[in-house]
């Protein structure tokens, strides 16, 4: 990447790494299943495989209260580069599910700053940070899961900002589920992932400070709902890879839909989310074993 005088030498953070440890307990599994309205709730006994993406319930960011910034995230610096832009969003992710993670596993996650890129967009400067996570279980040398996490930092909202043109959502869904993103759903997911980002629960902050029309539905929650739709429709399938890209913010002002279909090759699953107007908000693809 090229450094800019305004953003400083962010490239110095590339290659930085940290490892954290956790234990896959049963209670977060049951709590997320309840939040996603599963019936019956899973037993989540020792040895049970956890669903894809539910590893987000672990390795939670346990920052001290005194270290939290005005947006509810940890103050800039530390492991992630100190990007001096006020708005931070989860832009997308790519996953390889190599072996199962199970209730009772002792797990380790090694995270590395893979890349930092500065770009100029229609709303000003954008900084993209790509983090590689490798999750291993019970002391295994090879990771059970490899994840690339894409984070985007943006400038503050300006009165003359022009929103990017919306994209029409795909047609031809064979699976479809309506989601009502009320305050309780967003609060419960924030609590389960220990996510203090105020854009998900503080309506005054998100509308007056960041300039959005309503509470923002978590990108990882939408991705989890897409994967949950796949599991509801193909309960015996094993997912090998998954990738998603956030296309447009989803707000709590209206219901939205998660959609999917199995492609003719019998291995590729096309998944997407759309808002109440039919605009694409998240685009995703899964491949099955």
DSSP states of 225-271 = HHHHHHHHH-TT--EEEEEEEE-S--BTTS-EEEEEEE-TTSSEEEE
Confidence of residue 134 (pLDDT cuts 50, 70, 90): very high
pLDDT at 138: 96
Average of per-residue pLDDT across 227-242: 97
pLDDT at 6: 52
Average of per-residue pLDDT across 127-147: 97
Residue pair 118/10 in contact by the 8 Å Cβ criterion? yes
* Sheet of 106-121, strand order: 17-23, 106-121, 124-137, 145-154, 87-97, 239-246, 280-288, 268-274, 256-262, 175-179
Average of per-residue pLDDT across 167-190: 96
Percent of the chain's residues with pLDDT above 90: 80
Average of per-residue pLDDT across 273-282: 97
Average of per-residue pLDDT across 81-103: 93
- To the nearest whole number, what is the mean pLDDT of the chain? 93
pLDDT for residue 97 is more than 90: yes
pLDDT at 103: 98
Domains and CATH numbers, the chain: 10-288 (3.10.129.10)
3-state class (DSSP) for residue 200 = helix
pLDDT for residue 3 is more than 80: no
pLDDT for residue 1 is more than 70: no
Residue pair 124/154 in contact by the 8 Å Cβ criterion? yes
CA neighbor of 93 nearest in space, from 49, 128, 50, 118: 128
pLDDT for residue 162 is more than 80: no
Contacts of 128 (CB under 8 A, 6+ apart): 91, 115, 116, 117, 118, 119, 150, 151, 152, 153
pLDDT at 7: 58
Confidence of residue 130 (pLDDT cuts 50, 70, 90): very high
The residue count for the chain: 289
Average of per-residue pLDDT across 157-164: 71
pLDDT at 57: 98
Beta bridge partner(s), residue 218: none
pTM of the model: 0.93
pLDDT for residue 160 is more than 90: no
Q: Which two tokens stand for residue 57?
A: 């319930």
């Amino acid at each position: 990447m090229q450094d800019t005088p305004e953003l400083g030498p962010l490239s110095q953070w590339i290659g930085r790494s940290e490892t954290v440890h956790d234990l896959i307990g049963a209670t977060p599994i049951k709590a997320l299943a309840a939040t996603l309205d599963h019936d019956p709730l899973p037993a989540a006994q020792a040895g049970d495989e956890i669903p894809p993406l539910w590893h987000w319930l672990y390795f939670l960011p346990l920052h001290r209260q005194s270290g939290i910034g005005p947006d509810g995230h940890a103050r800039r610096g530390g492991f992630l580069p100190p990007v001096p832009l006020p708005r931070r969003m989860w832009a997308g992710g790519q996953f390889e599910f190599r072996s199962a993670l199970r209730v009772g596993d002792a797990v380790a996650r090694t995270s590395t700053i893979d890349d930092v890129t500065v770009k100029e967009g229609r709303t000003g400067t954008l900084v993209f940070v790509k983090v590689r996570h490798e999750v291993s279980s019970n002391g295994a040398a090879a990771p059970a899961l490899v994840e690339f996490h894409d984070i985007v930092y943006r400038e503050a909202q300006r009165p003359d900002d022009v929103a990017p043109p919306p994209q029409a959502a795909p047609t031809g869904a064979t699976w479809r589920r309506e989601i009502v993103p009320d305050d309780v759903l967003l609060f419960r997911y924030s609590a389960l992932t220990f996510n203090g980002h105020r854009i998900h629960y503080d309506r005054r902050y998100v509308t007056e400070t960041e300039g959005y029309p309503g509470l923002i539905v978590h990108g990882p929650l939408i991705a989890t709902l897409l994967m949950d739709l796949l599991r509801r429709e193909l309960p015996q399938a094993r997912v090998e890879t998954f990738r998603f890209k956030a296309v447009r913010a989803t707000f709590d002002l209206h219901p939205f839909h998660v959609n999917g279909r199995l492609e003719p090759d019998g291995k590729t699953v096309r998944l997407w989310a759309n808002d109440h107007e039919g605009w694409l908000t998240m685009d995703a693809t899964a491949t099955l074993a």
